[in-house]
Structures are given as C-alpha cells and as structure tokens.
Amino acid sequence: MQLSHFQRDQDRRSGARHAADRTGGSTKTPGLVDGFGRRFQYLRLSVTEVCNFRCTYCLPDGYQKTAAPSFLTVGEIARLVETFATLGVEKVRLTGGEPSVRRDIGEIIRQVRATPGVGKVAITTNGWNLARRIDDWSAGGLTNLNVSVDSLEPDAFHRITGHDRLAAVMAGLDRALELDVPSVKINAVLLKSAAGAAQFARFAEFVRDRPVAVRFIELMRTGDNADYFDAQHVGGEVLRSWLEAGGWTPRVRDRDDGPAVEYVHPDYAGRMGLIAPYGAGFCDGCNRLRVTARGKLRLCLFGEGGLDLRDLLTGDGDRAALHARIVGALGGKAAGHRLAEGLTGDMQRLAQLGG
C-alpha cells in the first residue's frame, strides 16, 4: 500500500519518540494522550458498514453498497486490538453498520475478550439477531450490550426502523438479562415526533424492575440528513427537565464511560440518560478513538479523512510502526467537533461508524 509523504514523515517522527520510550530496558509504551491532556482508554471499532435496518435518521433507503466489501478480518482485528491494548485501551466496542450481520462476530468477540489488558468488550446492535446469538456472545466474554430501540410502541418502532421486529428485539434483550450480561443499555434517538412525557414515562416504567440504562441521544446532523435534522431535532433539555421534575438525579460517572449523563431514582432498578453532543463542553472529556471497518483511524466522529492502519495489520506487519503511527496521530486531534456550526466533516451517515 502506498503511503502519503505526510504519513511516512509522521511515522518516522513518531517512531523516534516510540524508540526513546523503550530505552533503559523498559518496553512499556506511553498511554494514548492528546495535546489537550485527554487520555484514551476506549476504542470503538466498526466491523462492517452493512446494516439491515432502514432507520429514518440514518439509512432511510437502506444500505447501499458503494464498494466491494473488504472489511477487517478476524486476524487483523486481533492484531489491531492487541496494539491498542498495549497503549492503554481497556474497553473495546464493536459497532457497524450492524455488527451481527457478520457471521464471525462471535469469534471476533472471543478474540477481543482474550486480549490481555482488555477488560470490557461491548457491542452496539439493532437487535435483529440478538435473541439467536446473545448466548454465544455471552459465552464468548461479552460484558456490555447496547441495543438500539427508538420506541417501545410497535407501530412507531416499525415506522422508524422499517421493520416490525420490536417483540423479537425485546426478547433478545430480556435473554441478555437472564444471562447476567454485566451491562445492558438501550439507545433511543431523541426525535421531535416522539419526544415527550409519554415516551419518557414508557421507558422509565420499563426500567422500573430491570437493571437497564436507557439513554436518549440527540439527533445529530450528518452530510445527508439536513432536511430530516431540521424537522426532527430537539434539544436534550426536554428530557433533562422531565427527569429532574420526577426526582431523578445524576449518577457518578465511571472512568471508561462514554459521553452519556445518566440519572438514577430510588424507585427504579434501571437508569435514564442523555447524550447531548450539542451541549457545552461535550468533547472536553473525550476518551475514545475510532477505527473504521476498513482499518482507518478516526480521531473524531465528525472529523475528516482518517489515517490508514491496515498496511501494518498483516501477520508480518511492523508492530512498532503501528504503535508509532497511532500515537503520532493524536497530535492532530482537535479540541472538539463543530456540529454547532453545521460542519459535519465527511460523516455522511451514522452507519459509517456506528455513531
């Protein structure tokens, strides 16, 4: 694979720093820290761009293949995760597209979980295959399960996703609870047509006796959803006000948590939460990096371009060079996204990287 002059120069500079870190007999590499002092222990790894849902906010026309599939293999994923783990990554989330369309997703989960240093293996899924495959995933070491459920009303779920499968999705979620998967969460996009007290109360009732966290995510502007965004975006304050009025209080965050602010209530086993990317300071505590299904490192969901890592993921790839390339890239990470300015980078649709 031909590398750009910038990338070759970056590799040389980073390689020198990496070699210096190994002097004195120590082989320990520094953690992943950017120019703003943010430390990255969390990797979001897309394993496919394919999705079998047609969600109105993401893929209303369904997945459209634009190139021959050449997604990372199990072996490449194993080498990639091992490298990130040696750099301090402790949590890996598998995303898509829809990761369960890969027949080898169970093996991927096992490989990631077996990686020294990785304590948490997560997956974000639309739940299509959840009931059939959660037993295998749990046995393989899955620790964190996120299921996208935008409504608990079958008609609304069908209208948003393009599929009448709410009952099957919820059966898979309940099976995960039976298996004692350590962390089970529901993701729901906050839409103007559905947001309101009735919607929030329905989800709250669902978690009254279930140890599940429901997080509402503000709709984000992408390259191809401008009209939909203008019609459906609603700020997270509508949920925050409802929670506070009902006696819900913010929960203390764990070190490797994502950007959600979660709320707890003494009368409920589960939690309610909000992911508000348009809120002030959203990027200040960023702790995650992303790699695409084709092996490009993305420093921000709404950034531009990406740094190719795949040429170093072969069986005889230069592991030190891979370390150096990843570490060197962090110097280019911006302080935050520019969504409030209407700038979405080259993010055309969330299925590209699973959000």
Q: Tell me the average pLDDT of the chain.
A: 86
CB 41 within 8 A of CB 88: yes
Average pLDDT over residues 150-161: 95
- Average pLDDT on 9-16 reads 42
Q: What is the mean pLDDT of residues 169-179?
A: 98
Give the CATH number, domain containing residue 122: 3.20.20.70
Q: Which residues pair with 263 in a beta bridge?
A: 250, 272
Give residue 339's pLDDT. 60
What pLDDT, on the 0 to 100 scale, is given for residue 194? 83
Under 8 Å CB-to-CB from 245, ≥6 apart: which residues? Answer: none
d(CA 274, CA 251): 12
pLDDT (0 to 100) of residue 345? 54
Predicted local distance difference test score (pLDDT) of residue 85: 97
Point out the least confidently predicted range of 7-16, 268-277, 311-320. Answer: 7-16
Q: Is residue 310 in a domain?
A: yes
- Average pLDDT on 337-351 reads 57
The verdict on residue 95 lying in a domain is yes
Please report whether residue 56 resides in a domain.
yes
Quick one: tokens of 122?
């997560």
Q: For residues 299-328, give the mean pLDDT.
A: 87
Give me the number of domains the chain comprises.
Answer: 1
Q: Any idea what the Cα angle at residue 42 is, between residues 257 and 97, rounded to 5°?
A: 95
Q: What is the mean pLDDT of residues 275-302?
A: 84
Highest mean pLDDT among 123-132, 217-226, 256-265, 300-309: 123-132
User: Can you tell me the distance from the alpha carbon of 131 to that of 165, in angstroms, rounded to the nearest whole number?
Assistant: 11
82 in a structural domain:
yes
Higher-scoring residue by pLDDT: 38, 141? 141
Q: Which of 125, 233, 129 is nearest to 185 (CA)?
A: 125
Q: What are phi and psi of 289, to 5 degrees?
A: -120, 165
Task: Look at residue 12 in the predicted model and tell me its pLDDT.
Answer: 41
Query: What DSSP letter does each residue of 306-353 carry, written as one string?
Result: -EE-GGG-STT--HHHHHHHHHHHGGG--SS--GGGT--TT---GGGT
Preceding amide of 97 cis, omega within 30: yes
Distances in Å between the Cα of 97 and the Cα atoms of 48, 124, 327 are: 6, 9, 27
Contact 87, 32 (CB under 8 A): yes
- Range of 333's domain? 5-20+32-184+288-352
Assigned domain for 343 exists:
yes
Burial class from Cβ neighbours inside 10 Å (0-12, 13-18, 19+) for residue 197 reads: exposed
Q: Tell me the pLDDT tens digit for each residue of 193-226.
A: 888 899 999 999 999 999 999 999 999 887 677 8
Residue recorded with tokens 């990372």: 72
For position 18, what pLDDT does the model report? Answer: 41
| pLDDT over 90, % of the chain | 64
131: part of which helix (H) or strand (E)? helix 130-139
Q: Compute CA 157 distance to the chain's CA centroid, rounded to the nearest angstrom.
A: 22
Residue 305 Ramachandran class (φ > 0 left, ψ -120 to 50 alpha, else beta): left
**Domain assignment present for 326:** yes
Residue 271 has pLDDT above 60, yes or no: yes
Residue 234 has pLDDT above 70, yes or no: yes
Residues in the chain: 355
pLDDT at 283: 75
**Alpha helix ranges (H) inside 145-282:** 154-161, 166-178, 197-206, 226-232, 237-245
Apex CA 30: angle with CA 24 and CA 32, to 5°? Answer: 170
Q: Please determine, for residue 28, whether its predicted confidence score (pLDDT) is greater than 60.
A: no
pLDDT for residue 353 is more than 70: no
- Residue 66: pLDDT band (50, 70, 90) is confident
- Whether 223 is in a domain gets the answer no
Considering only residues 160 and 64, tell me which one the structure prediction assigns the higher pLDDT: 160
Q: Do the domain assignments include residue 194?
A: no
Q: Percentage of residues in the chain with pLDDT exceeding 70?
A: 83
Higher pLDDT, 285 or 142: 142
Q: Give pTM, 2 decimals.
A: 0.87
Picking from 319, 313, 310, 257, the residue whose alpha carbon sits closest to that of residue 288 is 257
Residue 354: the pLDDT is: 57
Q: How confident is the model at residue 27 (pLDDT cuts 50, 70, 90)?
A: very low
Q: What confidence score (pLDDT) does residue 222 get?
A: 77
